[in-house]
Amino acid sequence: MNEAKKVAIVTGGATGIGLAISLQLAQDGYIVVVNYHSSAQAAQDLVKQIQANGGQALAVQANLSKVTEAEKLIQTTLETYQRLDVVVNNAGITDDTLMLRMSETQFDRVIETNLKGVWAMCKYALKPLMQAGQGRIINIASVAGMMGNIGQANYAAAKAGVIGLSKTLAREMASRNLTVNVVAPGFIQTNMTANLSPQIKEAAIAMIPLKRFGLPEDIAQMVSFLASNKAQYITGQTFVVDGGMTMY
């Protein structure tokens, strides 16, 4: 292996937005560690695709709602490649219902993956990222964490927490030349939005000035920029990619 080649972890990197991010970073020249929870075949297929295009990739299973598995993901990366330069915390789940009906289990399940999982990945990645000399953490939040969303009290709370966590970490790590930023997608064309009813899709598009859903590649290109040297003076910021839906 080329020791100078940078290494990036993408959590939830085998499907949807994560898939686009993994492909983009591989195209940018990174060795990509594709984390997955249950999408084993998709992860292996992605690794083969990256390799067929001349890149390097590794699929690693980990349930990031468990802190020990987040730590193991970091350790596996370091044991394999001896370095870590970029962490993209993209893995997330939903378990939607109105607040009146939401159980404690539903709330905890989403918080454990979408917020605690991000905390755990950041915690165990900090030392190797500092050693990289110019490390990057890019956390994928959501516009739901900025404006709320009916039926998503757990998801919105977790994503708002990710934004606050990222700002704090950006302050703590600035002296170590480690930047921490957030990308907050709006409605993006994924399997999740594909399952929305035509009525909900129509209502959503009506709120978007650009009058369409975004593509996973729109998020991937923002991540690519934030991981690059072009973004070396940017930290603690939230970049909204939503077609203009949440203008303030």
- Provide the Cα torsion 78, 82, 84, 89; round to 10°: -20
The 10 Å CB-count burial string (b at 16+, else e) for 141-168 is bbbbbbeeeeebbbbbbbbbbbbebbbe
Cα 170 to Cα 104, 151, 238: the distances in Å are 31, 30, 11
Find where tokens 């709006």 sit. Answer: 186
Instruction: Please name the residues in contact with 16: beta carbons below 8 A apart, sequence gap of 6 or more.
Output: 188, 190, 191, 192, 216
3-state secondary structure (DSSP) of residue 84: coil
**Rounded (5°) CA angle 174-180-186:** 155
- What is the distance between the alpha carbons of residues 215 and 238, in angstroms, rounded to a whole number? 19
Annotated catalytic residue 155: yes
Q: Of 124, 155, 233, 248, which residue is the catalytic one?
A: 155
The rounded distance, in Å, linking the Cα atoms of 110 and 114 is 6
The residues carrying an active-site annotation are: 155
